[in-house]
Amino acid sequence: MLDSNSGGARSRNRSARPGRPVGAVTRGTTNPNRLRRMDRWIAAELAPALRRAVAAPVAVDLGYGAAPWTAVELHQRLAAVRADVRVVGIEIEPERVAVAQRHARPPGLSFRRGGFEVPLDGADAGAGALLIRAANVLRQYDEGQVADAWALLCSRLAPGGLLVEGTCDEIGRRQVWVALDRSGPRTVTFAARLGGLARPSELAERLPKALIHRNVPGEPVQAFLRDLDRAWAAAAPYADFGARQRWIAAARTVAADWPVLGGPGRWRLGELTVRWDAVAPSNFTRTSYRI
């Protein structure tokens, strides 16, 4: 990326001067606990890799915004799984990095200036990050820039690492994210506070940039949300037992026709994860995203 005049992440990164961050300043909106749903999923998904890492694993909160709350909370949540995990908050705006320093707790939590090149020091730079989380970052770029951004970020992953890229509302009630490894996108997760959710397709407003413009007839993601709405409507009798039971019933119905991953243990949290290939844009080619 990754500014509006760039030819893409790969070309931009090759031509950038040493030390020059790759990317553009985002709006920086942030709130405490905003990414709790995403963090909960990450902690569960990455738990085996976190525990078996020989050296202290590194996680990156890319584009944490005007305040460092999301990086602080990511460290707290991952440290509950692996005490020596190190979280690096990366921001392209120098003033935001300066503000965040008062919350640094080296070596567990640190902050630095950077962008999509994901600057890490020494051995960490060579080994890569076990996690890169980029929440509400690519939403502010063009759809055509997503493939290069994903490829550049995934090239900074450690073996077995994940890039989690997605979007949420201001207080984290509704979130959708894509999980990728070095081979490309793997899954899409829809997550919501179920109380007050009129229909699942309301999550379409929070689709990541790769999918936000694809919620139209003829595209797989639109068909998935349509079927999820229908399953939600059919599960209305379960509402007497609570929104969680209704969501679980809807998820079970959808799982009969779509490659839904996980089970009731995740569904009861207001999550639903589906294989990327099932909802990918109709013009998607995996080679465009391969590292």
Task: Give tens-digit pLDDT for 36-46.
Answer: 999 999 999 99
- Give the span between the Cα atoms of 87 and 224, in whole angstroms: 35
Using DSSP bridges, classify how beta strands 184-192 and 260-261 pair: parallel, antiparallel or unpaired: unpaired
**Nearest Cα to 37, choosing from 274, 279, 266?**
266
User: What confidence category does residue 2 fall into, taking pLDDT thresholds of 50, 70 and 90?
Assistant: low
**Nearest Cα to 213, choosing from 120, 290, 113, 281?**
281
**Nearest Cα to 228, choosing from 204, 200, 248?**
200
- Pull the structure tokens for residue 121: 């020091």
pLDDT digits (tens, 9 = 90+) for 93-102: 999 999 999 9
- Pull the structure tokens for residue 168: 């949420």
Is 8 in contact with 1 (CB distance < 8 Å)? Answer: yes
Break the chain into its structural domains and give their ranges.
1-172, 192-280
User: What confidence category does residue 288 fall into, taking pLDDT thresholds of 50, 70 and 90?
Assistant: low
pLDDT at residue 70 in the model: 97
Does 1 have pLDDT greater than 60?
Answer: no
Residue with the bigger pLDDT between 61 and 25: it is 61
User: What confidence category does residue 290 fall into, taking pLDDT thresholds of 50, 70 and 90?
Assistant: low
Q: Calculate mean pLDDT across residues 134-140.
A: 94
pLDDT digits (tens, 9 = 90+) for 141-158: 999 999 999 999 999 999
pLDDT at residue 15 in the model: 36
- Give the span between the Cα atoms of 184 and 96, in whole angstroms: 30
Residue with the bigger pLDDT between 11 and 82: it is 82
User: In the predicted model, what is the mean pLDDT of the chain?
Assistant: 91
Is 164 in contact with 154 (CB distance < 8 Å)? Answer: no
User: What confidence category does residue 19 fall into, taking pLDDT thresholds of 50, 70 and 90?
Assistant: low
pLDDT digits (tens, 9 = 90+) for 255-268: 999 999 999 999 99
Q: What are phi and psi of 111, to 5 degrees?
A: -135, 145
Amino acid at 117: E
Contacts of 119 (CB under 8 A, 6+ apart): 21, 90, 112, 113, 125
- Give the span between the Cα atoms of 69 and 39, in whole angstroms: 13
Is 150 in contact with 165 (CB distance < 8 Å)? Answer: yes
pLDDT digits (tens, 9 = 90+) for 44-59: 999 999 999 999 999 9
Alpha helices in the chain (DSSP H): 9-15, 36-52, 69-79, 94-100, 122-127, 146-154, 209-212, 220-234, 243-254, 264-267, 276-279
Does 7 have pLDDT greater than 70?
Answer: no
pLDDT digits (tens, 9 = 90+) for 168-203: 999 999 999 999 999 999 999 999 999 989 999 999
pLDDT at residue 28 in the model: 75
Length of the chain in terms of residues written: 291
- Give the span between the Cα atoms of 60 and 74, in whole angstroms: 9
- Pull the structure tokens for residue 133: 């989380």
Q: Give me the architecture of the 1-172 domain, per CATH.
A: 3-Layer(aba) Sandwich (3.40)
pLDDT digits (tens, 9 = 90+) for 196-234: 899 999 999 999 999 999 999 999 999 999 999 999 999
| Cα angle 173, 175, 181; round to 5 | 150
* Burial (CB count within 10 angstroms: exposed 0-12, middle 13-18, buried 19+), residue 2: buried
User: What confidence category does residue 164 fall into, taking pLDDT thresholds of 50, 70 and 90?
Assistant: very high
Q: What are phi and psi of 94, to 5 degrees?
A: -55, -40
